[in-house]
Structure 1
Amino acid sequence: MPENKKAEMATAYDSSSVEGKWSQYWEENGFFHEEVNKDKPAFSIVMPPPNVTGALHLGHAMDSTIQDILTRFKRMQGFNTLWVPGTDHAGIATQAKVEGQLAKEGTNRHELGREKFLERVWEWKTQYGGRITQQLRRLGSSCDWERERFTMDEGCSRAVREAFVDLYDKGLIYRGNYIVNWCPHCHTTISDIEVEHNDRDGNLYHLRYPVKHSNESLIVATTRPETMLGDTAVAVHPEDERYQHLIGKTLILPLMNREIPIIADEYVDREFGTGAVKITPAHDPNDFEIGLRHKLPQVIVLDKQAKMNENAGKFQGLDRFEARKAIVEELKTSGVLVKIDAHAHAVGECYRCSTIIEPLVSKQWFVKMEPLAEPAIDVVRDGRLEFVPDRFDKIYLGWMENIRDWCISRQLWWGHRIPVWYCGKCGAEICSKEDPSSCPACGSDQLKQDPDVLDTWFSSGLWPFSTLGWPEKTPELEQFYPTSVLVTGRDIIFFWVARMIFMAMEFKREVPFRKVMIHGLVLDAQGRKMSKSLGNGVDPIEVIEQYGADTLRFMLITGNTPGNDLRFHPERLEATRNFSNKIWNASRYVLLNLEDYQEGPRGELALADRWILTRYAATIENVTKALDNFDLGEAGRLLYEFIWNEFCDWYIELTKPRLYNKENGAARHTAQSVLFEVLEGTLRLLHPFMPFLTEEIWQNFPVQGKSLMIQPWPELPACNDAAAERNMTLLMDAIKAIRNIRAEMKVSPGQKVEIIMLAPDENQRAVLENGKADILKLAGGASVELFESLPEKPSQSASAVLEGVEIYLPLKGLMDLDKEVARIEKEIALAVQDQKTLETKLNNPGFTNKAPAAVVAKERERLEGLLARKAALEERLSELKQV
């Protein structure tokens, strides 16, 4: 038992004094770490590595909470458990951070040189890179921090080299000119899925291109007139009757006086614009594909700073948007511009900096995706890898079946440098796992390494097996691979999940994980994504400091179903904190009543004992099943209902007479024994969800063991008493019915009431007879009378009807009936007056036809609510007049 176990719990739960203590205790005692144990079944998870530049946000918090719940659950079930933590080097973001520092110092990376710049980046990583992992610790994440990885550590770097060279040698990595997404601000390519498409207001410019040796012209429509300087054709649909006679003829490109052909291609949408499309292969991905089909030249008119280059004639040097204005003015002057229409359309933006992307033809490194995609598609189709929920199968397969070659080179200095060297003497291209010292073709030492680095997602794609030691055959790789489940958000299925799957199938010939559990995003209360621009973000650390980590964790996983987005409502934090306080207070009460408790044989179980043990068994079974099915929200709901509604509100109250009656030692001991068993086991069930609270409570209980987190998962108790459930339900329903009557009739809580029950069924009558003491105590009864039959209804009484049982409460003397009748009649009169006013308003066409629909709907809703309230008042008045 730890030395810090206490004899008595504090009067109130203080999360701030508990969380740091137990985090340190768990980690120092190595409870998160397990060596390979072949005698146990394995359970493993790899953490989606957050960016080393990042700070914890609610998405991270949800993702890590889900992983931690599953890991703690499996650890308690006796699995050989491994949760691998780590961070991603985040090439673009990290380089931008350091370049920002350098700018403040009045220098830049080019002045420093590559080697010195990378030294600065590593310094930055050492100083700031551990922030998010420390924040994850505060959340309670029970990762094996001894096995923490980084995508640029020695092991991961070796895996990257191994994978690149292997793919290169197989001809699956190639270098060539291709159109890419270029960010003029970040100065690097980004992949298709890193481009965010947002609607923007723009214009559609209609331009007149003259046909050579003809009086005819062809009008094209474009949103980007600045790219017309790079046009190498105009395309029409081959079946468009308007342009059949022009196919194969030549146009004169305005402003440039260059001859370009009119071609036919089925890509053209005849309904858009004029049905004639300018083709700029060097600056549009669709035009690039058309250009390849028709062997068109690629004229590049924009440079990597998004400025017009030497091929743009007199517009050279202008920024792309400045050039647009200047070109449009000249088109107006020369009579080429026919008209301008307002046109909203989707514009691609860099996911990092929101700069508008510029498609450019550039020499880059690519991975051939078609041969890699096929096995990655098969494993989902044949069920070797399952998405949870399974609706994400279609999303994954739809992308994989239409995947394009993956551009893996980035024009950065921070990252895994491409392991390719070029010989300055003979021009040989050398791809090697080790840095070569000389050219294998000619022996020259004039070697220069490719300056680019790999896309961050290349190293992340190897994460499930590189973190376990691949390419070495380690014991961890043998025991924990494939990993059991990947937990991740729906927004990175393409960024990361798909790449891990095809990388795993290529290098391990096996899926990287058996299941992929997809969760939704955390949105604000209005259903919007959280962002700095909207100012609606929530800092999880601030939430933890105010409410505690357990409150945040439980709130994030309850009230939601797998795969669906979660709306963040601050009031749910208050409700969850109340739940924590309820557990604390109940546990403290139980502990105070266990001071003289000694383990030993139980006496006869009361109805309440048999009922709570049966409900406890059902809770164990259903929570376990929900966790096995990754339905964490349902598991949390089941625990909440059991703890609050059944254990705290009912069972604890039902045990008080026995606990307080020390003269009947056997009955008291039995109540203590059941209280202890159920509460201690429930703390185990709740521990994966609320680790800090449950550990603090458990350490105060008379138990052996170093920590709750390494205790076994609860086993089903032998008690499974359906009759006890049925009988206890009857007793509780009777008590609730009496409470409801008292509340509706405004009977003072301190006033005792006579209770008359009609129960023709002998078994029901016996249950109620045996439960008289509980009814008197919990329903505020002065007396309870039970009858098999009643010749007439008790006079001046309120009633309730259960299944097979009628309950009557004589109310004479408990309230001033005349005053209550007068008050309700006054409320009804006011309701009738309001009803007439609203009906007159809604029957007036001048209001219903002219007022906004939302206003009219709101008034109708008010009327419906008013009518419902009036009906309830009239029903209550009728009951009172019968009393």
Structure 2
Amino acid sequence: MTEKTQPPAYGPHSASTDLPTQYTPADVEGKLYERWVERGYFAADAKSEKEPYAIVIPPPNVTGSLHLGHAFEHTLIDALTRRKRMQGFETLWQPGMDHAGIATQNVVERELAKEGKSRHDLGREAFVERVWQWKAESGGQISGQMRRLGDGVDWSRERFTMDEGLSQAVQTIFKRLFDDGLIYRAERIINWCPRCLTAISDIEVEYQEDDGELVSIRYGEGEDSLVVATTRAETMLGDTAVAVHPADERYAHLVGRTVRLPLTDRSIPVIADEHVDPEFGTGAVKVTPAHDPNDFEIGRRHGLPQLTIMDEHAIITAHGPFLGLDRLEARSAVVAALRAEGRIVDEKRPYRHSVGHCSRCKTTIEPRLSMQWWVKVAPLAKAAGDAVRDGRVTIHPKEMSARYFEWVDNLHDWCISRQLWWGHRIPVWYGPDGETVCVGPDEEPPSGAGWHQETDVLDTWFSSGLWPFSTLGWPEETESLARFYPNAVLVTGYDILFFWVARMMMFGLYAMDGVPPFHTIALHGMVRDQFGKKMSKSFGNTVNPLDWMDAYGSDAVRFTLARGANPGVDVPIGEDWVQASRNFANKIWNATRFALLNGATVEGDLPSPEEMSSTDRWILSRLHSVVAEVDAYYDDYQFAKLSDALFHFAWDEVFDWYVELSKTTFAAGGRPAEITRRVLGEVLDVTLRLLHPVTPFVTDELWTTLTSGESVVVAAWPRDSGFRDPAAEREIDAVRQLVTEVRRFRADQGLQPGQRVPATLDLTAAAGLAAHEDAIRSLLRLQPAGEDFAATATLPVAGATVALDLSGAIDFEAERKRLTKDLAVAEKELAQTTAKLGNEAFLAKAPDHVVDKIRARRAAAESDISRITDQLSRLP
């Protein structure tokens, strides 16, 4: 880049001053969004010759509403797509919703319960019709909330995972996987919800610390006995072995023998298995293959019987005194019976341990042996891992790659069947003689006596795993599929890296001939409260983003979220931060209004640098540096850094310095004022365009008023011209340093901000500062020195000397007394904290955070003493 090149011009426009005195988001946001949609700004054209840029929305549940996590993710995606649209790409942000099988079925079943009915009273077809009716009337409220946020999605392409086209895609890929031997039916351990009566996925299991009991039970007699510990005593009724580690000498003599299982008339073998940790507990574990996933694998290795002792409602089915009891009732009864037999060796109550619960109904999950449909994931997962390893797909931040590989390299087969009525029904028919036929979308199912379809539906993640290509028309070879697959980037939370991202990778590579569904996976963290705590209804710290939008505007919410978005890192957020962002939006509004009232314009070419003042060259130099900086941050998905860079440039440099410095120029008039009006218009034009992707509403309202352009949504994204003027930057930095230091001195002396004092300025030794004397005096409220001027304070700053006469502005004696009193307080604080930190006994006992707090107090006291001493020395 050259050090000085001509700044670019962006074409002639005329400006208007027709802006209200205050910015009211509610008066702007709704009408603007509808205008954007009506004008088709967000519509993607598959026939366009522009370079494509496509992103899918992680489909929210049709039952859901916009929570802060949605608002966060949507803000990031919208910022990316708005920028790419401005850069001239054919941009598609694909919207849609997930049918959310279990969640939606639960909602409708609750509605039926209010009528005193169950789904079984209606029957399957009538119940499914009732769900569709609910979806049409009540589902999808999130669409309206997305509009409130400003989501620039192509609404004409909105999809639903149960619509006709996506249903065809589901049936097509199921058939292909089945025919390739990658889908099969088998009896395995799954997560079972006894309330929802279905298998559920790992992501639908919420783990929390519950109070339970840990009981240690003696199996066998005398020296040939073993002690096992369990939090689920009722499952011992289904034990088929006790396992120890092969190298554990304590039990070597028992391996291969049997022990009596208490409360039953059965004897079970003692087996040796590498899975057992000899250091944990007694080193012996009970094995219940039908009710524990680890035990199931041990059982398969050793050919153990699989005894199911509960039904789908978690009611005990094992014959004996516990038959018919609920699992929790049985737990207490079993422990009591064992105690009566003298089998209880130890009891720990309460015992805090992690317990899985159904995320929908909060019922405790029961591991259960069940006949289900499965995907054989090994070849699919290998392909998903290879695509990242060979660079076809990049994970950002790269540190997350290790977590991705850990998951895809160790995937177990995926249970895809759910015992629900709402969802994609598995396209398999069973015949009267044990036949199994998988039916594709263009095939007729078998008919006749004894033929019936599988009653289970597919896991919701099965259909959402097809999202990047099914939404574009696959399995048909559509223009949209050819144009927008693969997507440019997937923006999603690291928490569903395994559950959703891995499935999209597996299915995309399988269905699209080895082409991955996206080039980049950009992972973000989770939104937390301002104290870093997870947001949860049980904690009482959840936030409805619509409440913040109502109070502060959507731009304020968006800017706050983007400013906290560091890649892969959780985002703490508090209402005071949203208030600060609202203040920023107001600052943008007020600064633009000031500029318009003073004739700022974007009309005509920019004057040459030789005509400009150093102030004008400084701000243009900084402007194009920021353009380059923001571009680099966008390309690296550094939303927090780009937002912070824009905030500080706009507020600190444009509004607080350039606008203030321009006031002196405007007051003087003439050609310099004309030039500054054009430069100020240029700076605001570019700054508003840079801010637009994150704060779309206020920037569009201001940009169209400033430029009379159609909309900033379709304006060109700024480019770095390479214009740099280091000399002008050094000169204005010196002005800023001088003004800042003198302002600090004035505040320390107790002067009011608007209070004028006589002063002399010696700027001859500071290069370039003399040209800014009028501006410096204006900013510092310094009036010229009169005949009776007598300096009471002299400040050498930035190569200049500022002498002030404070004799008529300050009661020096009163100020000396105040500062002396403050100094005594600071010295006392320093003595107390130093004494504490010198006390070895205190340091040995006090917690680290207490010691750190005292160290901070001592440092603050030292700083106060230095500051007050300096202030006293400056008093005459």
Aligned mates of 2:843, 2:771 — CA distance in 1: 61
Q: Which of 278, 298, 308 is 1:290 aligned to?
A: 298
Distance 1:210 1:471, change over 3 A: same
Normalised to the residue count of structure 1, the TM-score between the two structures is: 0.93
Shift of 1:438: 5.9
Q: Which moved more, 1:52-61 or 1:200-209?
A: 200-209
Shift of 1:843: 7.6
Counterpart of 1:468 in structure 2 is 472
CA distances 1:5-44 after superposition (whole Å, capped 9, x unpaired): 9751001001001111001111111111021245211100
Counterpart of 2:680 in structure 1 is 675
Shift of 1:225: 1.2
- 8 Å contact from structure 1 (residues 610, 719) kept in 2: no
CA distances 1:612-633 after superposition (whole Å, capped 9, x unpaired): 1111111111111211211111
Is the aligned partner of 1:143 residue 2:143? no
Counterpart of 2:375 in structure 1 is 367
Q: Which of 300, 304, 315 is 1:307 aligned to?
A: 315
- Give, as a single letter, the amino acid of the residue that structure 2 aligns with 1:245: H
Distance 1:828 1:267, change over 3 A: same
For the residue of structure 2 that corresponds to 1:304, the secondary structure is coil
Q: Which moved more, 1:338-347 or 1:771-780?
A: 338-347
- Give, as a single letter, the amino acid of the residue that structure 1 aligns with 2:201: S
- Give, as a single letter, the amino acid of the residue that structure 2 aligns with 1:775: I
How large is the Cα RMSD of the aligned pairs?
Answer: 2.4
Is the aligned partner of 1:266 residue 2:274? yes
Counterpart of 1:791 in structure 2 is none
Distance 1:329 1:718, change over 3 A: closer
Unaligned runs of 5+ in 1: 786-793
CA distances 1:792-814 after superposition (whole Å, capped 9, x unpaired): xx964232443x44544454444
1:732-811 equivalences in 2 (<5 Å): 732-748=736-752, 749-757=754-762, 760=765, 764-765=766-767, 767-783=768-784, 796-802=792-798, 804-811=799-806
Aligned mates of 1:165, 1:713 — CA distance in 2: 46
Identity between Structure 1 and Structure 2 (%): 48
Normalised to the residue count of structure 2, the TM-score between the two structures is: 0.93
For the residue of structure 2 that corresponds to 1:204, the secondary structure is strand
For the residue of structure 2 that corresponds to 1:731, the secondary structure is helix
- Give, as a single letter, the amino acid of the residue that structure 1 aligns with 2:430: Y
Counterpart of 2:238 in structure 1 is 230
Shift of 1:159: 0.4
Aligned mates of 1:636, 1:835 — CA distance in 2: 39
Counterpart of 2:693 in structure 1 is 688
Aligned mates of 2:193, 2:647 — CA distance in 1: 49
CA distances 1:425-459 after superposition (whole Å, capped 9, x unpaired): x33111011486563xxx73542110000000000
CA distances 1:198-228 after superposition (whole Å, capped 9, x unpaired): 33333322222226xx873222222211011
- 8 Å contact from structure 1 (residues 796, 810) kept in 2: yes
Is the aligned partner of 1:218 residue 2:235? no
Aligned mates of 2:445, 2:675 — CA distance in 1: 83
1:725-736 equivalences in 2 (<5 Å): 725-736=729-740
Shift of 1:196: 2.9
Counterpart of 1:788 in structure 2 is none
Is the aligned partner of 1:617 residue 2:627? no
Is the aligned partner of 1:72 residue 2:82? yes
Counterpart of 2:633 in structure 1 is 626
- 8 Å contact from structure 1 (residues 741, 798) kept in 2: no
Q: Which moved more, 1:681-690 or 1:170-179?
A: 681-690
Counterpart of 1:536 in structure 2 is 541
CA distances 1:846-874 after superposition (whole Å, capped 9, x unpaired): 98888877667655644543343233222
CA distances 1:494-548 after superposition (whole Å, capped 9, x unpaired): 1100100011111111111111111111101221111111111000111101000
Q: Which of 645, 648, 652 is 1:641 aligned to?
A: 648
- Give, as a single letter, the amino acid of the residue that structure 1 aligns with 2:413: D
Q: Which of 190, 205, 209 is 1:180 aligned to?
A: 190
- 8 Å contact from structure 2 (residues 172, 441) kept in 1: no
Shift of 1:156: 0.7
Is the aligned partner of 1:875 residue 2:870? yes
CA distances 1:778-804 after superposition (whole Å, capped 9, x unpaired): 22223499xxxxxxxx964232443x4
Is the aligned partner of 1:657 residue 2:656? no
- 8 Å contact from structure 1 (residues 56, 135) kept in 2: yes
Counterpart of 1:415 in structure 2 is 423
- Give, as a single letter, the amino acid of the residue that structure 1 aligns with 2:551: Q
Counterpart of 1:129 in structure 2 is 139
Aligned mates of 1:296, 1:774 — CA distance in 2: 89
- 8 Å contact from structure 2 (residues 227, 282) kept in 1: yes
Aligned mates of 2:344, 2:245 — CA distance in 1: 23
Q: Which of 561, 570, 573 is 2:575 aligned to?
A: 570
- Give, as a single letter, the amino acid of the residue that structure 1 aligns with 2:52: A
Which of structures 1 and 2 has the larger relative contact order (alpha carbons within 8 angstroms, sep 6+)? 2
CA distances 1:388-433 after superposition (whole Å, capped 9, x unpaired): 1111101111011111000000000000000001123x33111011
Is the aligned partner of 1:50 residue 2:75? no
For the residue of structure 2 that corresponds to 1:314, the secondary structure is coil
For the residue of structure 1 that corresponds to 2:706, the secondary structure is coil
Is the aligned partner of 1:395 residue 2:400? no
Counterpart of 1:479 in structure 2 is 483
Unaligned runs of 5+ in 2: 1-14
Counterpart of 1:815 in structure 2 is 810
Q: Which of 170, 173, 180 is 1:163 aligned to?
A: 173
CA distances 1:681-718 after superposition (whole Å, capped 9, x unpaired): 211111111111011112222423x2210111123346
Shift of 1:575: 0.9
Aligned mates of 2:217, 2:16 — CA distance in 1: 83
Aligned mates of 1:601, 1:622 — CA distance in 2: 23
Q: Which of 122, 126, 142 is 1:116 aligned to?
A: 126
Shift of 1:827: 2.5
CA distances 1:654-690 after superposition (whole Å, capped 9, x unpaired): 222333445x2x3332122111111112111111111
For the residue of structure 2 that corresponds to 1:527, the secondary structure is coil
CA distances 1:704-746 after superposition (whole Å, capped 9, x unpaired): 3x22101111233464222211222122222222222222223
- 8 Å contact from structure 2 (residues 109, 118) kept in 1: yes
Distance 1:415 1:252, change over 3 A: same
Counterpart of 2:8 in structure 1 is none
Shift of 1:485: 0.5
Counterpart of 1:386 in structure 2 is 394
